[in-house]
Amino acid sequence: MAATIITTEDLMEFKVELLEDIKALLQDRNGHQGKKWLKSNEVRELLGISPGTLQNLRINGTLPFTKIGGVLYYEYHEIMEVLERNKVHNRI
């Protein structure tokens, strides 16, 4: 039985491939793979908020958006960043 030598470079390549596969699986699970821009109704559904609340988030600058021809678009990753920035950690 012949021995196979695995180099550090081989392990690094495996690590990169594995991380890419895990990332793809997580994106599939969240249902947002390949979808960079969301419309208002998708954002409201994602966050569970009303149209008025979404409007307030736009007006006060909490949620960045792009407007093209009367349609508002929001970047998925920016929504996630806003959620992370506003995360509250309770210290008990």
Q: What is the phi/psi pair of residue 2, to 5°?
A: -85, 140
Per the domain annotation, does 47 fall within a domain? yes
Angle between helix 51-59 and helix 40-47 axes, rounded to 10 deg: 100
Per the domain annotation, does 17 fall within a domain? no
Range of the domain at 63: 34-87
- Taking every pair of Cα atoms in the chain, the longest distance, rounded to a whole number of angstroms, is 69
Amino acid at 55: Q
Q: What is the phi/psi pair of residue 89, to 5°?
A: -110, 110
Per the domain annotation, does 70 fall within a domain? yes
pLDDT attached to residue 57 = 96
pTM for this model (two decimals): 0.60
Per the domain annotation, does 10 fall within a domain? no
Per the domain annotation, does 28 fall within a domain? no
Q: Which helix (H) or strand (E) holds 39?
A: strand 37-39
Residue linked to tokens 């994106």? 27
Work out how many domains the chain is built from and give that number: 1
Per the domain annotation, does 23 fall within a domain? no
Per the domain annotation, does 92 fall within a domain? no
Please enumerate in sequence order all residues whose Cβ is within 8 A of that of 54, keeping only pairs 6 or more positions apart, or say none: 40, 43, 44, 47, 63
Segment 31-86, tens digit of pLDDT: 555 578 999 999 999 999 999 999 999 999 999 999 999 999 999 999 999 999 98
pLDDT attached to residue 32 = 52
Per the domain annotation, does 65 fall within a domain? yes
pLDDT attached to residue 22 = 87
